[in-house]
Structure 1
């Protein structure tokens, strides 16, 4: 009999089960770098476990019930294969690895976690309701029927398996299909409860479980899609040098170029100066540098040089993963990376709105469904992603999110603007980065202008005040000198009284010079629209023709890009221009104004706004960043403590010069650190990670709850209409999409949605209801969670300058 793992009748495709098991086992093993190890499990054991989990994960597919299900003749519960495979692998690993562990209980814990990996590999990770009182009888009955069927066919099955593993020729299935042995095993039945009670509380078990689960799910899905795991390619650091020479050609600001070159050279020299032993042991590399110093390319070159050193010292090529806090700045980083890497390696860009086809090389022929799988699995040499994708792949039990987690192992991870991690999670994230570096052998480059002491926060949670400092290398020790020389901007706090919009406009006109450019950053969309129209009105009244632009998430993304480009063009031409914005401007937008007006916010946000003024230091010295207080707007956005702490620090002086920013930021984070561990971090670590409670772990939300926020599609031009039509065609399988299977349709839908995002804004539920926004279904009857502004409603509901009109 030909035993199959997968079968597609329509496409005439099948995959033999023995081929699948062998390929998944080998892929699971080869994806484990030599640096992965846990406190009680060394690398050899990890690879042994990975191989056997991969080999036996689908052993239950040898049942006649599953084989009949594949060809469409059976659809009962006996087709289920994951649980019987998990039982088989549990008994096999329990016996096979007796000699490998320090004690019996360690063997039972590790083997049980491997059982969970196999049992749940088509689902999401959980220890809930694995053995329920009401479901026990039915569960064992189902397992017994499948067991009996496999046992009866063991001669044919062993013959099939021996073609890929000759040593299994005399394998005795009865030993590993002994369900009575499992029932009598108290460690097997009681282990979920013991783990959840914290009887064996140890952070290594969480990171072991999600890693092994990720290995299996990733390998299984790649092989099922006829894809292979590719070895990581190294990239020469000289590619950065070559690109910079091209990019900086013709730049007249030699002083700035020299500063950037000196800073970059210092960082590379630090990497070069490390001994082989330091390369082995160092896990964190810190770059604390002011805006405009060229951190993006400097950190990439450091990562590439570190990649070379690791290859020489540890014998493997680490993948490079860069995570950025916000989607709206990922494209500018992508362009820089593409210019550096070229065709030498495979760059994968992965975020919620990523265009799948942009990850396919021009000369590649690959279906979009497979391109989606490779993108979601981070199958690339360099990965560019978001904080959400990174951290939601760590603090989760979801199958699809965990799939890529194993790619962190042995990698170099650049965390750009690490201060964007919410303070309530800094302890949790700091501790997690330390544990991932320890167990997975991951190196981290932490990069920011306002280093938030995230590792010290982690030390607090781990009650270990030595680990991070011993394994940390400062790549830019001259940062103090650089910060001390900065004279680009200064904070001018004007916080004696609160202002309304009219009062602010009066203040703005008093401080602003009509020949100068200015950015105004406020805390709410409502206030930003008010200020925009009030300012335009005041300028018109005074006969001043300076252009005023508007930027916030209230306007569609394609318009945001247009605004940034137009404003940048005027700024580069030294023209007077005013931009009214929300915090959107803080997210790495490369604009350079003469002055700024910032509604009150925590200190790190104020520093980010200052980074949009006199970025290159060519406009003079100590250009002002006025800090004002617009009513109680900041109360709705920021926590009380952060506001109070910032207010106290700012009230100590009439002006804060740029060379003082680093000192005041350090004081800010020291005070937060002294408060102790935030409850949110403590709960997820102690109740979630230490007790393997995935419900508690999934309380981690990097972005605040969006349950009351709707995606609204603004159909405002022909391209928007074309994309909406394509969206409908894919969903209902019309036209070119009529013969697509569910996987292909998912990938195509994802790709269309990525393009549709240019026309999507997020609107709060109460505003949606007040404005009676239509469901997308009203367009042509196609079901979707989107709301919709039709072409005929554009003038009523959407303003070309300020976006969505709300009551």
Structure 2
């Protein structure tokens, strides 16, 4: 009803979904039908393994009672082609539903990060072309395309309404949009709630969700499939125990086999055992909480011992400032030794538009054989298609460590079998991830000289079992939000502090109470000036929201970073009168003072008072 009301008020149109080609993946150039040689799995190369996985998964479509199942799981190693395997399965499942149930289900593909949403969009468009309407619904999405808001004569409000209500065959969206629609109450989100009914939902990289919320997520998906007839495919390289936690912590048990997870690749352990791309090597990791840690200077010594200039290298740290400091030290080391390896940096400390450009630069550098070194934070852990020869990672969650390993020898090059990922402990894990993660990660890695890739699956499973023990992780949030949903307790008075939790307390990503948004105007980037002026024109009512959203919003958002609030004091920022949102602005003439071209926002206290807020 909400959608109908909004659609009618905006004079928009409800999109009539179309059938699709179930063989679109087979017919895509470079793919074909998945075939593999008649030999032992251990003798397969990367392409053979990808084809084997896709064929085994797609074959499940012919299972006699496949349409009776509602929840599917797909666990497979990184780089095995899960995106296209899932799409192939889903297109064939959609075709089966059309013929058996006489309806056309919508496909919804949800992922955690913008960069992998955009990668998925490109892959889907390359596979399906113009046959289906594919919609990207996330923060930086351009809803207007090349024709802006006059496309086909429809106005801004109509196109935005069609976007907000998922008028398409396929939606590629974020976890925030999906789960805050499923577990939510706001009018803005509920406009598309009923699109979940009867849909086919693909969830990718679910290990990125907070473990404390997994029982609630599991319960929501269970009821979505049970009462709204949705079919859900959950895929990841490190499968967390979502439904096991739901049963244990919320006492929700599937009544029938059709509501229990159907494993699309039951032989996944055999697939994991085929890989010898990498190995994890803990360096002085012990179980004791007062275990020795490594400092920045000592790390450079370790780097010098393990790395050679003939190797590309990925270094992942838990803290932004630590990553900046290590970048500076590595840069000095490379320069003083007159090595020619390019050095790159990636974190949320640089603007989204620059991260996008830099990933492309790194890919090109790797392809050219330049053997680059990348210093990064956790932004590279999921969905970033990079392939290094070796790596280092600060101690962290075991599933995150395995994700980093997935950026090393990603293409299964036999000449690089057993490429190392060294794990060191800077002492930052406890502060970033909490004491339970710190303790269990050290426990999983201590007293082990090496973990081979064939054992990663078991390593992650034992780690998840350890951190999800009731006496280790507090799952009360999941219990309280589920109770609020059952009691229809949507929100509480603003000033109320002691009321029980409400649905409004649920967020996929907790709001940062310690961050401030900073707009970065690069003097060498003319678009940054245009976007900033347009935003000021919007605030001063010189242009309307339609014009800003259609022409400038994406460019504006891609030049915003979030930095800790305490820099407002340390940098002695002065404020202009508040206008609209509190977004600080680094002027073009002050760019070099507050922003480093390599590492982004300069986090060292300064003396100059030049950042202003809009």
Q: 3-state SS of the aligned residue for 2:233? A: strand
* 2:554 counterpart of 1:754: yes
Question: Which residue among 420, 435, 446 is the counterpart of 1:624?
Answer: 420
* 2:415 counterpart of 1:607: no
Contact 2:156 2:546 in 1 (8 A): no
Question: Which residue among 306, 318, 330 is the counterpart of 2:117?
Answer: 330
* 2:53 counterpart of 1:258: no
Q: For the residues of structure 2 that align with 1:478 and 1:537, how far apart are their CA atoms?
A: 47
Q: For the residues of structure 2 that align with 1:360 and 1:412, how far apart are their CA atoms?
A: 30
Contact 1:523 1:582 in 2 (8 A): yes
Q: 3-state SS of the aligned residue for 1:625? A: strand
Correspondence for 2:470: 675
Trace 1:241-390 onto structure 2 (pairs within 5 A): 241-245=26-30, 255-271=45-61, 273-275=62-64, 277-279=65-67, 281-358=68-145, 364-390=152-178
Give the RMSD, CA atoms, in angstroms: 2.2
Q: 3-state SS of the aligned residue for 1:694? A: coil
Question: Which residue among 560, 569, 580 is the counterpart of 2:364?
Answer: 569
Contact 2:315 2:374 in 1 (8 A): yes
Shift of 1:347: 0.8
Correspondence for 1:232: 17
Trace 1:608-757 onto structure 2 (pairs within 5 A): 608-618=403-413, 619-630=415-426, 632-675=427-470, 678-686=475-483, 688-695=484-491, 696-716=502-522, 717-734=525-542, 737=543, 745=545, 748-749=548-549, 752-757=552-557
What per-residue deviation string (whole Å, max 9, x for no partner) do you get for residues 745-793 of structure 1? 2574376222212211111111133224465x67xx9644211000111
Shift of 1:584: 0.6
CA gap 1:247/1:283 in 2 versus in 1, 3 angstroms: closer
Q: 3-state SS of the aligned residue for 1:670? A: helix
Correspondence for 1:525: 320
Q: For the residues of structure 2 that align with 1:550 and 1:559, how far apart are their CA atoms?
A: 10
Correspondence for 1:508: 303
Question: Which residue among 350, 363, 371 is the counterpart of 1:555?
Answer: 350
Contact 1:222 1:229 in 2 (8 A): yes
Q: For the residues of structure 2 that align with 1:484 and 1:502, how far apart are their CA atoms?
A: 37
Shift of 1:554: 0.5
CA gap 1:750/1:401 in 2 versus in 1, 3 angstroms: farther
CA gap 1:700/1:751 in 2 versus in 1, 3 angstroms: farther
What per-residue deviation string (whole Å, max 9, x for no partner) do you get for residues 388-446 of structure 1? 11111122221101211111000000000111110000000001100011111011010
Question: Which residue among 253, 264, 271 is the counterpart of 1:475?
Answer: 264
Contact 1:645 1:668 in 2 (8 A): yes
Q: For the residues of structure 2 that align with 1:310 and 1:554, how far apart are their CA atoms?
A: 46
Shift of 1:587: 2.4
Structure with the bigger percentage of helix: 1
Contact 1:455 1:468 in 2 (8 A): no
Q: For the residues of structure 2 that align with 1:257 and 1:617, how far apart are their CA atoms?
A: 9
CA gap 1:650/1:233 in 2 versus in 1, 3 angstroms: same
Q: For the residues of structure 2 that align with 1:237 and 1:652, how far apart are their CA atoms?
A: 50
Correspondence for 1:396: 184
Contact 1:459 1:467 in 2 (8 A): no
Q: 3-state SS of the aligned residue for 2:234? A: strand
Q: For the residues of structure 2 that align with 1:235 and 1:375, how far apart are their CA atoms?
A: 21
Correspondence for 1:795: 592
Contact 1:260 1:294 in 2 (8 A): yes
Contact 1:321 1:412 in 2 (8 A): yes
Q: 3-state SS of the aligned residue for 1:345? A: coil
What per-residue deviation string (whole Å, max 9, x for no partner) do you get for residues 191-222 of structure 1? xxxxxxxxxxxxxxxxxxxxxxxxx1111001
Trace 1:388-427 onto structure 2 (pairs within 5 A): 388-427=176-215
CA gap 1:731/1:477 in 2 versus in 1, 3 angstroms: same
Q: For the residues of structure 1 that align with 2:58 and 2:146, how far apart are their CA atoms?
A: 29
Shift of 1:670: 2.4
What per-residue deviation string (whole Å, max 9, x for no partner) do you get for residues 431-480 of structure 1? 11000111110110101001101121122244244448643221112212
Shift of 1:801: 0.5
CA gap 1:321/1:451 in 2 versus in 1, 3 angstroms: same
CA gap 1:393/1:440 in 2 versus in 1, 3 angstroms: same
Q: For the residues of structure 2 that align with 1:495 and 1:314, how far apart are their CA atoms?
A: 58
* 2:237 counterpart of 1:441: no
Q: For the residues of structure 2 that align with 1:269 and 1:733, how far apart are their CA atoms?
A: 58
Structure 2 residues without counterparts, runs of 5 or longer = 34-42, 286-291, 492-501, 606-614
Contact 2:219 2:252 in 1 (8 A): no
Shift of 1:559: 1.5
Structure of higher RCO (CA pairs closer than 8 Å, 6+ residues apart) = 2
* 2:566 counterpart of 1:766: yes
Aligned length: 572
Largest Rg, 1 or 2: 1
CA gap 1:750/1:352 in 2 versus in 1, 3 angstroms: farther
Structure 1 residues without counterparts, runs of 5 or longer = 1-215
Contact 1:774 1:789 in 2 (8 A): no
Correspondence for 1:492: 281
Shift of 1:309: 1.0
Contact 2:12 2:159 in 1 (8 A): no
Q: For the residues of structure 2 that align with 1:499 and 1:299, how far apart are their CA atoms?
A: 42
TM-score w.r.t. structure 1 length?
Answer: 0.68
Correspondence for 1:47: none
Q: For the residues of structure 2 that align with 1:468 and 1:334, how far apart are their CA atoms?
A: 35
CA gap 1:468/1:429 in 2 versus in 1, 3 angstroms: farther
Trace 1:117-266 onto structure 2 (pairs within 5 A): 216-245=1-30, 255-266=45-56
